[in-house]
Structures are given as C-alpha cells and as structure tokens.
Amino acid sequence: MEAHVTPAATYAKVLGVLLALTVITVLAAGFNFGSWNVVIALGIATIKASLVALFFMHLRHDKPIGAVIFVTGAATLGVFLMICMLDSDARTESAVRPATRDAGAPALSVGPSPSAPERRSPESRRLP
Amino acid sequence: MSTAATPHGEFLQHHFTTAEQQADAGKIGMWLFLVTEVLLFGGLFVGFAIMQSLHREAFVAAHHQLDRVLGFINTVVLLTSSYTMVMAVHSARTDRRKRVVVYLLLTLICAGVFLGIKYVEYSHKFHEGLLPGRYYSHKGDSVPGQFMFFSFYFMMTGLHGVHILGGMAVILWVLRRAVRGDFSHAYYTPVDLVGLYWHLVDLIWIYLFPLLYLIK
Amino acid sequence: MTGNYLSSPRGLKSWLITVDHKRIGVMYLFSVLFAFLLGGIFAMLIRIELLKPGHNIMSADTYNRVFTLHGAIMIFLFIIPSIPASLGNFVLPLMLGAKDVAFPRLNLASYYIYVAGALFAIAAMVTGAVDTGWTFYTPYSTTTNGSVGLMTFAVFVLGFSSIFTGINFIATIHKLRAPGMGWFRMPLFAWGIYATAIIQVLATPVIGITLLLIIMERVFSVGIFNPQLGGDPILFQHFFWFYSHPAVYIMILPGMAIISEVIPCFSRKTIFGYKAIAYSSIAIAGVSFLVWGHHMFVSGQSQLANAIFSFLTFLVAIPSGVKVFNWIATMYRGSISLEAPMLYAISFLLLFAIGGLTGLFLGALATDVHLHDTYFVVAHFHFVMMGGTVMAFLSGLHYWWPKMFGRMYSEKWARVSAALIFVGFNVTFLSQFVLGSRGMPRRYYSYLDQFQPLHVFSTVGSWLLGLGFLIMAVYLWASLRRPMDAPANPWGATGLEWQTTSPPPEHNFENAPSVTRGPYDYSSPEPTSAEVEA
C-alpha cells in the first residue's frame, strides 16, 4: 500500500503527453532520417513506455523493488538482443545485396572459420 | 484474492501479519510475472530484429501493407484504456465505488474496440493473402520474401491479442468484485495488480506499433 | 502425537485442494521421484543397448527416442523442479519462520500445471515420441515426424510451473521472513533458492517462446529458423541455450544451497564465509546469463561470439570455486560425523569439483573442438547434474526426511546405498570421460569395436547405481511404515525448521518464532524451544 495517491489530474496530463507523442511518432515516420529512423521511433516509444511505467504503473512513488525487478528484466532482454545481433552481424556478409534473389540454397559452414567469417548470406528464399 | 475473514481485516490471508505486507507481496509477485511477459514477447522482438536486419528490403516493402491509420487509432485506444484503468485504481483508493465500476467498464470497452479493429485488419490481410509462412499467397510482390514479415506480424499481434483477451477476462473478474463493493482505500490490491498487467499489455503495443507499422 | 500436517485435515480431497506448502512439497517429492524412476529406466535401457555395437535390444530409431526421452524427462520432469519444488517448498517457509509461502494458491496451481505438463509429455511418449534429442535443434525438430508438437507443448506448460515456483519464492523471501531475520541472518539455503528463483523467472519465458516458435515452424513454416526460407538455424540455438544454460544453474544452485546447510551441521561448525557464499549465489545467477554460447562453439557461431562466451565461461567458474573452498574450510577442524546426509555432501564436493573442472575443458575453444558432441560432454554434465545436484538432493532428502515424515530411516542401509551409488556413479561416468576424449561421439547408437570395453564397464556401473537406488527405495519405504517417533531435532541442527515438531503441525509453529542469532551458530548449544519467543 503506497502512501502516495497520484492526483487524477496528473493521470490526465500523462495521457495527453502520450497521445501527443503518438501523433509525433506517426508524423516523424513520414520523413526519412536514414539510419536515425529506428532510433527516433524507438526513442519516442521508450519515452512513452517510461511515462506509463513511472506514472500509470506508479513506479515513481512506489518502493523501489518493483522498478528493480522491471529494469532487471529489461536488461536481461537487452543482453539477449545485443549478443544475438552481434553474432548475427559478425557472420553475415555485409556486401551490397543484389536486387534480384538467387534461388540457390545457401551453403552452411560447419565449425569455426579459419579466416574471416565467410558465411552464407541467408537472405535468399523460395516462394512457396 | 482470499475472502477469509480474520480478526484483523476482511481480506487478510492467514499467513500475512499486516495488510501492507500482503499488498507488498502481491505487488512483487505481479512485477515478477510482468517480467516473464517482457521476456516472452522479447524473444519475438529479438527474432524480428534479426530477421529484419537480414531481409531489410522485404520487411520495408511488406510493412507498407499495414494500415497506419488503424494502427494509430488502436494505439490511441490502448493508451486511453490505460488511463481508464489507472483511474479505476484511483477511484478505489479514494473510495468512489461507482466510479471503479465505470472506469473498469470503459477499459473493457476500449479493449473491445482494439480487438474489433484488429479483426478488421486481419480480415483485410486474409483477403489479400497476406498470411504467415506457408500460407502467404499475395500476388505481385516486387520484393520477394515478404511472407517472413507477416509471420512475425501475426505471431506478435496474435500473442498480444491473446493477452488482451486474458486481460479482459481478469478485468471482468475484478469488475464483478467491484460491483460487490469489495474495494476501498484499505483494500484495492486486485484492481492495482490487474491494472499493472493491463499497462504491460499497453507497453508491449507501444513498441509493436512503431516496429511493425512505422519503421523504414 | 496430536495432529500434524500429514494427518490433519484428513481425506484425499483435503490433499487435492491443499494450499499447505508442506503437503504440496510432499506431492512434488513423490512426483519428481517417479519421474526420476522413469528417466532412470530409460537410462538403463540406453546402457544395455550400448553393451555392444549395432543392434542389441532396440532399433536405431527407437534408440534416438529413448535417449531423447531420458534427457527430456530427467531435465524437465525431474531435476529442474526437484529440489526447489519438493524440499524447497517444504523447508523454506519453516526455515524463514513463516506460516506458508507468499502465494499458497499459486503454489497449488504450480503443482497442477506440473502434472498437466507431465501428462502432455506422456501423451507425446505414447503417440510416436520424439527423436530430436532434448535440445530440439532445427531444422530437424521442425521437419521430423513424431510428437514434437506435443512434447514441446508439454515443456512449455512445465515452464509455467517453474516460473510460478520462482515468483512464489522471491516474494516469500522478501516479505515473509520472521521478525529479526534480516537478509544476512537467513540460512544459505534460502539464498540459494532465491538465486535459483531469479533465474527461473528471467530465463524460462525464453524457452517458452522458443518452443512456441518450433510449433509455429511446424504448423505455419514461419521461416525464422529455416535457412531455405531465409531463416537462421543458429538463431534457434541462441534462443534455446539462452534458457538452457541458466537452467543448469537452476539445477545446481539449490544443490549447493543444501550443501551449505548440511556441512556446518555435520561438522558442528559455523559456515566459513557466509557472505561470500551468499553473494556467490547471486553472482552465479547473474553471470549464468552471459555464457550460453559455449554450447555453440562449433555450430557456426561467429568467432567474435565464441571468444566472448569462452572468456565469460571461465569467469562463471569462480563463484562456484569460492563455494567449494568455503565448504572445505568449514569442515577443517570441525567435528565431522558421517551420517547419510554428510556422506552425500562429501560425495558432492568431490564429484561436483570434477564436473565443474571438466567444464573448463569444454569452455576452452581449442579443446572443445575436439570434445564437443563426444562422451566427454555426457560425462561432464552427468558429473555436475548427478554427481552434483542428485547427490545434494539425496543429502537434503535424508537430512530433512525425519522432519518431513516424523521417522528416521535405517542408517545402516543408507550407508550401503550411498556407497553403492558413489561407486556405481564413478564406474558409469569416469569411463565416459575416457570414451569421449578418445573420440566416442554422443547420441550414437553404434560404435567402433575399440570402444566396447569401456562401454561395458560403464553399463556395469549403471547396474550398481540401479541397485543402490533400489535399496534406497526399500529402506525409505520401510521408514514410512515405522511409528512417528523422530525427535524435533535429530541432528542437533540450527535453523528454525528444527524448532518445531517432526512432522510440523499444519500451521508450522505453535508460537511465531523470532530470531535473535545468526544461522549456523554451532559454537553455543542449539536454541531450545524456550529461547524461541512467542
């Protein structure tokens, strides 16, 4: 039982900000910021998520254990994502991808590569 | 929650000594459960991120098939439902029993609208043959490989939809108890905890929306 | 003896709807022991088949199913729930001075979910079974016939049982400790269970989504793991091992937690380095999430990832090493007595050390190229899981048996059984280190003639193991038929669970305990009931 009761007006204000941010993210998607697209979209999403967590989920005024649990979970997911992406990038050719797909099945190399990781580009696939 | 009557409070379970202890424990339990949901969905996000980085063009081409307007409306609906949900908790804490019922009902309605819009979106996809995996039958794709995007689209929004349904069920249960007048400033834990769950469902959509509908 | 948790309330229904953590613990105990029996029978069948190369008692296809089921049953139905759900459920609230776990109804739900998962697994077994290995690697698991969908769904369901147990224990430890029991007055068993629970909560959902994705691949060909569709089979392995490596720490941490209780008691000496052991449990839980790629060194993972994972794998050995040294230091100059719990604890020290050290051979990239997918790996994980966790489980089972059931067992037959199990285990699995380093691959139905002598030796060891467990089943069963005459504290141990009757009453303590001294205070006589204040 938290001692602090958030005033109703605060909740309304937070909703207002959330809705505004939603409009902004949709508008921003209409422009092309290159590689910043992802950063902007996920950045805005994270701000929205933080508002929901801090105010609607009351993390701002609760005992810290809830926040600790939540952050730990998010961090664990972050570790999983980062290392999987790191590995995937490190074994994928970064050469410019051809506009047309070749239909050949990609060759899988087994075992650690002797030199640079020359892995198959796993992007060819067949239509059913 | 238990309704066993004890000397020190109607809803205090026998193994807790104070109501605060019980409420705190419940909150810890719910946050732990939410973390499991984050990691469950997180797996799909990781898969999506990696497949998208490997098949960027196909994913970009595919996502144009999604209706941004409907996605935007659904985001607004879900954010609003988070507001009505937290207002239900607030009403319980300030002893406004009728408002608890009203806000819970509004939350349910928002959830229903969300699912309704998703039904419209899904129908359109089925109609166009924009289906997951081996069932993808859309014609005229300039960029091949778009079935993979729809595999993820349906898995992620589908799992999310299942959680909305589950959320509606527990909100209904809490609504029943609210009508019975169980909740007050002294005891509002079920509303609080169901609210936390509902906010998480909203949180997941906050990320799903830009990822699926917006990012190029 | 007037009413205890076993005798009251009476009737089958009272057991089926119980929310008493002690009864739930007992139900779990019999369930996991049954799973161990089933998995053990499959193990014996494997070892009989391997007495000679080629066909012996089963076809190659059947063999693949048998070793898959052995692994899946032992891991998901036995070892992961074993200590936490049975002994942990029973002992933890008592040890903390609580009346129950934080969420008793969730506890019962956890048990029924376990039963449901077990039923799905049995259904999978009898409708064609699975031949993918317990690791379900793609693309084989997504394309092969057999009851893969049912079995993966069974494991998915079992995951929820594990998650709910973890949630319950974390909340219990945070909120239900008796007055005066700060975090650093908690017994180390609780610390171990706490670290285990953290892993259960964080890791299990990832295997959950992985299993769902296998089902999605089989039903919809979603493509994520299928290289022909642009997917990535190595990604499957990342997903799978992200849970399954921390899972092995779900298996060992509770075992270590038991050892931290038993060794001080049977050395009559306080634990050496309490805080180091407590912190190392948390450290193991944390670092366990960073090493999963060491199962994938030769699968095609990038060299960058290989290097990172190998380095981190060496780090994770350190906290385990700290514990082993501290346990030995606890025994040093202690007053050692060799009852069954201590025999198993000492076995643990030796066998876990071997198991842990052989993990380092596998964690080094160069040697792993030679040893991966050989019997060396099989020997390594049996040393840590059986030589480690199972020995610790048996130690805890014998330690808390009188508390749980109010009876002692035959110490003589317990020692016979422990000796047979120790010898049988080493005969079975030491030989497998040799087999593996000489090139015998794992999961192979047939093999070159030169490997046969060691295979025969290993199989004979499995018969000794079987005999040891058979004797144990007999004397434990006999114990249950004796009168309930065990004292409250047969071992003279510290800890709140010994301050109540054997077996405890339904509500655990006649008077709510409060704590004024640290755990493991063996220097002064154990607290009498008078010291436990109302």
pLDDT at A33: 87
Do residue A70 and residue A15 come from a single domain?
no
CA distances from residue B134 to B46, B137, C219, C317, C400 in whole angstroms, order as listed: 22, 8, 9, 45, 55
CB contact under 8 A, A66 and B28: yes
In a domain, C53, yes or no: yes
Q: What is the mean pLDDT of residues B129-137?
A: 92
In a domain, C529, yes or no: no
Neighbours of chain A (3+ CB pairs under 8 A): B, C
Do residue A27 and residue A81 come from a single domain?
no
Range of the domain at A79: 63-91
Range of the domain at B157: 19-214
Do residue A25 and residue A52 come from a single domain?
yes
What are the φ and ψ backbone dihedral angles of B187, each rounded to 5 degrees? -150, 105
Neighbours of chain B (3+ CB pairs under 8 A): A, C
pLDDT tens digits for range A8-31: 999 999 999 999 999 999 999 998
Chain C's closest residue to A128, CA to CA, is C229
Are C217 and C256 in contact by the 8 Å Cβ rule? The answer is: no
Do residue A34 and residue A81 come from a single domain?
no
CB contact under 8 A, A109 and C306: no
CB contact under 8 A, B39 and A69: no
pLDDT at B9: 64
Tokens of B206: 């906050």
Domain boundary among A60, A79, A110: A60
Min distance A36 CA to chain B CA atoms (Å): 10
Does the structure show a pLDDT above 80 at A120?
Answer: no
**DSSP-derived 3-state class of residue C176:** coil
* Residues in C 222-281 with any Cβ partner in A closer than 8 A: 223, 227-235, 238, 242
> Which pLDDT band, with edges at 50, 70 and 90, does A108 fall under?
very low
Chain A's closest residue to C175, CA to CA, is A65
> Which pLDDT band, with edges at 50, 70 and 90, does A122 fall under?
very low
Question: Nearest Cβ partner of B133 from C210, C220, C239?
Answer: C220
pLDDT at C81: 97
pLDDT at C342: 98
pLDDT at C429: 98
In a domain, A105, yes or no: no
CB contact under 8 A, B28 and C223: no
Chain C's closest residue to A90, CA to CA, is C302
In a domain, B184, yes or no: yes
Question: Nearest Cβ partner of B76 from A19, A69, A89?
Answer: A19
pLDDT (tens, 9 = 90+) of chain C, 534 residues, equals 468 999 989 999 999 999 999 999 999 999 999 999 999 999 999 999 999 999 999 999 999 999 999 999 999 999 999 999 999 999 999 999 999 999 999 999 999 999 999 999 999 999 999 999 999 999 999 999 889 999 999 999 999 999 999 999 999 999 999 999 999 999 999 999 999 999 999 999 999 999 999 999 999 999 999 999 999 999 999 999 999 999 999 999 999 999 999 999 999 999 999 999 999 999 999 999 999 999 999 999 999 999 999 999 999 999 999 999 999 999 999 999 999 999 999 999 999 999 999 999 999 999 999 999 999 999 999 999 999 999 999 999 999 999 999 999 999 999 999 999 999 999 999 999 999 999 999 999 999 999 999 999 999 999 999 999 999 999 999 999 999 999 999 999 999 999 999 999 999 988 778 888 888 988 765 554 444 443
In a domain, C192, yes or no: yes
Q: Please, is A98 exposed, middle or buried when counting C-beta atoms within 10 Å of its C-beta (0-12, 13-18, 19+)? A: exposed
Domain boundary among A21, A43, A60: A60
**DSSP-derived 3-state class of residue B142:** coil
In a domain, C528, yes or no: no
Chain C's closest residue to A119, CA to CA, is C300
- CA-based end-to-end distance of chain C: 22
Do residue A12 and residue A44 come from a single domain?
yes
- A120–chain C Cβ distance below 8 A for any pair: yes
In a domain, A68, yes or no: yes
Total domains present in chain A: 2
CB contact under 8 A, C205 and B37: yes
Suggest the residue from C209, C214, C225, C514 to mutate for an interface test with chain B (most B CBs closer than 10 A). C209
In a domain, B57, yes or no: yes
Chain A's closest residue to C365, CA to CA, is A112
**DSSP-derived 3-state class of residue C494:** coil
In a domain, B172, yes or no: yes
Secondary structure in 3-state letters for chain A: CCCCCCCHHHHHHHHHHHHHHHHHHHHHCCCCCCCHHHHHHHHHHHHHHHHHHHHHCCCCCCCCHHHHHHHHHHHHHHHHHHHHHHHHHHCCCCCCCCCCCCCCCCCCCCCCCCCCCCCCCCCCCCCC
**Residues in chain C whose Cβ is within 8 Å of chain B:** 98-104, 106, 163, 166-168, 170-172, 174-176, 201-206, 208-210, 213, 216-217, 220-224, 229-232, 235, 239, 507
Most confident of A100-104, B7-11, C135-139: C135-139
Q: What is the DSSP string of B19-46?
A: HHHHHHHHHHHHHHHHHHHHHHHHHHHH
Min distance A48 CA to chain C CA atoms (Å): 24
Tokens of C93: 């609230």
Q: Which residues pair with C441 in a beta bridge?
A: C374
CB contact under 8 A, B15 and C176: yes
CB contact under 8 A, C205 and B50: no
Are B215 and B106 in contact by the 8 Å Cβ rule? The answer is: no
pLDDT tens digits for range B93-125: 999 999 999 999 999 999 999 999 999 999 999
pLDDT tens digits for range A47-93: 999 999 999 999 999 999 999 999 999 999 999 999 999 999 999 87
Min distance A54 CA to chain B CA atoms (Å): 11
In chain A, residues with a C-beta closer than 8 Å to the C-beta of C234 are 87, 91
In a domain, A104, yes or no: no
pLDDT at C326: 98
Sign of CA dihedral A63, B27, A18, B210: positive
pLDDT at C528: 45
In a domain, C481, yes or no: yes
CB contact under 8 A, C227 and A105: yes
Question: Nearest Cβ partner of A1 from B20, B75, B195?
Answer: B20
Whole-number average pLDDT of chain B: 93
Here the CATH number for the domain that contains residue B136 is 1.20.120.80
Are C341 and C399 in contact by the 8 Å Cβ rule? The answer is: yes
In a domain, B40, yes or no: yes
CB contact under 8 A, C229 and A126: yes
Do residue A3 and residue A56 come from a single domain?
yes
In a domain, A43, yes or no: yes
Does the structure show a pLDDT above 70 at A2?
Answer: no
pLDDT at C2: 61
- B51–chain C Cβ distance below 8 A for any pair: yes
pLDDT tens digits for range C435-475: 999 999 999 999 999 999 999 999 999 999 999 999 999 99
CB contact under 8 A, A110 and C297: no
Do residue A55 and residue A73 come from a single domain?
no
In a domain, C79, yes or no: yes
Total domains present in chain C: 1
- A110–chain C Cβ distance below 8 A for any pair: yes
Do residue A53 and residue A70 come from a single domain?
no
Here the CATH number for the domain that contains residue C394 is 1.20.210.10
Total domains present in chain B: 1
In a domain, A98, yes or no: no
